[in-house]
Amino acid sequence: MLGTPEELPMKLEVVVIPVADVDRALSFYKSLGWRLDTDLEAGPEFRAVQFTPPGSECSIHFGRGVTSLAPGSVQGTYLVVSDINRSRADLVSKGVEVSEVFHTRYDTGVPVRVDGYPADGGSYAALATFSDPDGNGWLLQEVKERLPGR
């Protein structure tokens, strides 16, 4: 007997990233040190590439005939890291342009981006961004301690 919907597992496995040049994207994600899971070509109209970031259970797909989204249209995909400064430095050492660390304040109810590490140093607050060669946007988020139930 199946349990309630809350008990039925649903795992996010793949995020599709639209790219213009499959080989350029492959080189970029490989340079990040992400694991290349597959590079499958099934004729001139279809090629699927899958990468998985270190420690992630979710992968990315891109290729030819994989999505109709415009290259660079995926924005704000989170990469959770335990040390944002080390993760940022690692990406920069690989030639990636990464924003400085910032956090968001909500003093007036309107989110305001503030340069620098948050004063309280709490989880979920420190952020940095980068993009792939097509402009798909990634957001690094530092999580030192997860919220209960996560």
Reported as a single tens digit per residue, the pLDDT across 76-85 is 999 999 999 9
Q: What is the CA radius of gyration of the chain?
A: 18
Burial code (b: 16+ CB inside 10 Å, e: under 16) for 8-31 equals eeeeeeeeebbbeebeebbebbee
CATH classification at residue 112: 3.10.180.10
pLDDT given at position 61: 97
Say if residue 130 is in the same domain as residue 79: yes
Residue 3 placed within a domain? no
pTM (2 d.p.) = 0.89
Cα dihedral 135, 126, 81, 91 sign: positive
Distances (CA, A) of 100 to 63, 89, 130: 30, 10, 10
Say if residue 63 is in the same domain as residue 87: no
Residue 138: give the domain boundaries. Answer: 75-150
For the cut 90, the answer to whether the pLDDT of residue 133 exceeds it is yes
Q: How many domains is the chain partitioned into structurally?
A: 2
Cα dihedral 139, 140, 144, 150 sign: positive
What angle (nearest 5°) sits at the alpha carbon of residue 78, between those of residues 74 and 81?
A: 150
Residue 2 placed within a domain? no
